[in-house]
C-alpha cells in the first residue's frame, strides 16, 4: 500500500512540552527529568479517575507556563486517555474552554494526537498553535480493564505496569528546535493472541508493519535515523519486534528502543515486562527524547506509540488483540 506517508507542507515544531508522573515514575531512571511528580499518585484528588484528570491539567498548565502562554492562546486541544469515553481528558480540561477533540487509540494515543494536531495546523490557513495531551493512571486503568489494585491479583511475567504519567505538547507552525516533518497512520494488525496479559507481544506486529512500510515507501536509509522508538512494547514485544526487523530490515533492530523499557528500572522495580499505558510514550517523549533533539544530541527519530485495541468484553469473549502503530518523524532544528 503506497502513499501512507504525509510530508508536512511546512515544518511544525514543539513550542513547549511537559511531563508529569507518580510514585513509580519518580523512582525510575528518568524520574529526575519529569517536570512534576506526586508520589501519592493522588494529585490532591479523592479518586484515581479524577487524579488522572488533574494530572493532565497540571501537564498542560506546565507546558504553557514554560513559554509564558495562556490557555487562551491555544486554538485546538487534542487529548486522550484510557478511561471510558476519554473522561479523564474531558473532566480535567473542561475549564480551559479550548475547542477539543478527544482521541482514543489505546496506548497509541500520544502519537495519534500529535499526528492529528499536526495535520490540522498544516491544512489550516488560520490555525497556528494547539496542544496535544495524553494521560494514563495505573489505579484507574487497573480498575477499568482488570481488577482493582487492592484486590492483589497476581500478574503474569508477560504483563506490564500501567504508568501513572502524562505528557503535554504545544505544537506551532514553523521551524523550531524540534520539528515534525512527516507522519504516517498505522494499520490495524491482528496481534495473533487473545492473552490480555501479553499486550506487548500483540502490538509488536503493528509496529513491524509501520516501520517496514515507512522505509519501503520513503526509501530512507536506516543509517540516517538515530532511533526507532516504540511506545510500550515492553521486553516481550521488543524482543519480537527486533527478531522480525533483523530478518526483514537488517540493521533496523539495532536502532530500536522502547519507552516501556526506559520508564522503569527493570531490575529494581516490579514492572514485569515493562511499562504500558498511553502516558508512557507521552511522558518519555516529553522528558527524554524531545530534550535530546532540542539540544542537537539526536538528529532524527521515528516515534511510534503502539496501541492494543481491545476491551474487557472482547478479551472475555476470546477475541484476538489487534494492534496499531501510527508514526511521526521528528527532527532536530539544530545542526550537529
Distance between CA atoms of residues 182 and 223, nearest Å: 18
Please state, in angstroms and as integers, the Cα–Cα distance from residue 280 to each residue in 64, 190, 213, following that order. Answer: 21, 23, 24
Residue with cell 507522519: 183
User: What is the pLDDT, as a whole number, of residue 67?
Assistant: 98
Q: Is the pLDDT of residue 267 over 90?
A: no
From the options 3.40.50.300, 3.50.50.60, 3.40.47.40, 3.40.50.11900, give the CATH code of 179-332.
3.40.47.40
Q: Sketch the domain layout of the chain as residue ranges.
A: 6-173, 179-332
User: What is the pLDDT, as a whole number, of residue 147?
Assistant: 61
Closest CA to 184 of 15, 9, 8, 13: 8
Distance between CA atoms of residues 131 and 117, nearest Å: 8
DSSP annotation string for 70-134: -GGG-S-EEEE-SSGGGHHHHHHHGGG---EEE--BTBTHHHHHHHHHHHHHHH-SS--EEEEEE
User: What is the pLDDT, as a whole number, of residue 336?
Assistant: 47
Fold entry, domain 6-173: Peroxisomal Thiolase; Chain A, domain 1 (3.40.47)
CB 321 within 8 A of CB 308: yes
Closest CA to 196 of 322, 14, 67, 69: 322
Mean pLDDT of the chain: 91
Residue with cell 527519530: 301
User: What is the pLDDT, as a whole number, of residue 198?
Assistant: 75
Contacts of 65 (CB under 8 A, 6+ apart): none
Report the 3 state secondary structure along 35-67: CEECCCCCCCCCCHHHHHHHHHHHHHHHHHHHC
Question: When comparing pLDDT for 144 and 29, which is higher?
Answer: 29
User: What is the pLDDT, as a whole number, of residue 181?
Assistant: 96
pLDDT in tens, 165-220: 999 999 999 999 999 999 999 999 998 887 777 778 889 999 999 999 999 999 99
Q: Is 250 helix (H, G, I), strand (E, B) or coil?
A: coil
% of the chain at pLDDT higher than 70? 93
Domains 6-173 and 179-332 are alike in CATH topology: yes
Question: Dmax over Cα atoms in the chain, in whole Å?
Answer: 53
Amino acid at each position: 500500500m503506497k502513499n501512507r506517508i504525509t510530508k508536512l507542507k511546512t515544518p511544525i515544531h514543539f513550542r513547549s512540552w511537559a511531563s508529569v508522573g507518580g510514585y513509580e515514575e519518580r523512582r525510575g531512571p528518568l524520574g529526575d527529568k519529569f517536570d512534576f511528580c506526586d508520589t501519592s499518585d493522588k494529585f490532591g484528588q479523592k479518586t484515581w479517575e479524577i487524579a488522572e484528570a488533574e494530572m493532565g491539567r497540571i501537564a498542560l498548565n506546565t507546558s504553557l507556563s514554560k513559554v509564558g502562554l495562556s490557555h487562551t492562546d491555544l486554538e485546538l486541544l487534542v487529548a486522550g486517555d484510557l478511561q471510558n469515553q476519554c473522561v479523564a481528558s474531558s473532566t480535567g480540561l473542561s475549564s480551559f474552554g479550548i475547542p477539543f477533540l478527544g482521541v482514543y487509540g489505546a496506548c497509541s494515543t500520544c502519537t495519534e494526537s500529535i499526528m492529528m494536531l499536526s495535520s490540522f495546523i498544516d491544512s489550516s490557513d488560520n490555525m497556528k498553535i494547539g496542544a496535544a495531551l495524553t494521560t494514563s493512571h495505573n489505579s484507574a486503568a487497573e480498575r477499568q480493564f482488570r481488577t482493582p489494585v487492592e484486590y492483589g491479583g497476581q500478574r503474569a511475567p508477560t504483563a506490564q505496569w500501567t504508568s501513572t504519567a502524562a505528557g503535554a505538547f504545544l505544537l506551532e507552525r514553523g521551524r523550531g528546535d524540534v520539528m515534525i516533518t512527516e507522519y504516517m497512520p498505522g494499520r490495524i494488525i491482528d496481534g495473533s493472541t487473545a492473552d490480555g496479559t501479553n499486550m506487548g507481544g500483540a502490538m509488536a506486529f503493528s509496529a513491524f508493519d509501520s516501520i517496514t512500510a515507512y522505509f519501503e515507501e520513503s526509501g530512507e536509509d536506516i543509517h540516517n535515523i538515530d532511533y526507532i522508538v516504540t511506545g510500550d512494547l515492553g521486553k516481550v514485544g521488543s524482543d519480537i519486534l527486533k527478531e522480525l526487523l533483523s530478518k526483514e530490515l537488517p540493521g533496523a533492530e539495532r536502532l530500536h528502543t522502547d519507552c516501556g523499557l526506559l520508564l522503569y528500572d527493570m531490575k529494581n522495580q516490579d514492572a514485569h515486562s515493562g511499562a504500558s499505558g498511553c502516558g508512557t510514550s507521552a511522558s518519555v517523549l516529553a522528558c527524554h527524547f524531545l530534550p535530546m533533539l532540542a539540544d542537537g544530541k539526536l538528529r532524527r527519530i521515528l516515534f511510534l506509540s503502539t496501541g492494543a485495541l481491545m476491551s474487557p468484553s472482547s478479551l472475555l469473549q476470546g477475541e484476538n488483540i489487534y494492534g496499531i502503530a501510527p508514526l511521526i518523524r521528528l527532527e532536530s532544528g539544530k545542526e550537529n
